[in-house]
Structure 1
Amino acid sequence: MHDAPRPGVSDLWDGMAQNAMAAAVFGDLAAQPPGRRNLLLRWFTDPASRALFPPEDHEVLARAHVAGLRAAHAARPEDRRAAELLAELRVTEEEFAACWQRYEVALRRSGRKRVLRPVVGELQLECEVLAAGGQDQLLLVHAAAADSEVASRLELLRVVGAGA
């Protein structure tokens, strides 16, 4: 599955692993310091992370991220890592605090994402979330329809790499 972006994350959205295609599409997490590999923290604090997605998708994505974090926190309310992440986000990020106050809880298992890449343009990807390790480890598998324009763009992105 070299042609499918596949990041592996914890249910708290700590980046654990990614293949080369995931690095090309979403950015290389290994290039980030360990404390900056959490996808939620990056979403709410790093404008470059948000720039990967169309602005009109930001509210829906923010709410989905927070609802997933709420589900993980509810499953393990004594988890120190969850408490630290929540404290950091609630204190520093107004948007996060507003989403948290909605009390939405959800586990995403599938959906569609639009990702913006400068060289290849918009990529519409189907995403399946596969759970492992007692539901606390997630593999996100993104795919485009075979022989589609988006599949061709992914192939080009695979060739030119994360800098594109």
Structure 2
Amino acid sequence: MIRLLTLLAKVISVISQLFSIGSGGTWPGEIALIIYPQILKYYLSRVQKGIIIIAGTNGKTTTSKMIQKIITDSYNGNSTKIVHNDSGANLLNGIVSAFIQQSDYIGNITVDFAILEVDESTLPLLLDYCKNKKLAIVLLNLFRDQLDRYGEVDTIATKWNNTLTEIPQGILILNA
């Protein structure tokens, strides 16, 4: 299933770019999640050293790029394999697409770290896939942003709190 789905997703990415209907950064993941909702669980299981999740209203890209630089430099660039959804696609479909882009055409992928920029409302969904993983979570600021989609800041903070209490282990870094 993974092999066929990865091949299909890569073809969708190429078609999306070829016909200028997108960058190929979300549709491959969207289709993959529709066909096989557990594909993210498969990809996260391929991460060897740790998953670093960055969530918040502002600062995700800057923070994730700094983390990527720190990791790369600390390993002296010696073939450290990192999946990073640095295209700005920070919903589950963008995260899956980042893994698909890094995998070969039949879904084989082994990476050292996953650095995942995550939309505020997506954090609880992603953490459901990350239980019992080597995990570091960086929580940045929350502002009244996209109130039509998320409601008040307190709503998101409550969802974060409820989800974080279910994570058995990991490192939590807060920017208050």
TM-score (norm. length: structure 1): 0.27
Structure ranking higher in strand proportion: 1
TM-score (norm. length: structure 2): 0.25
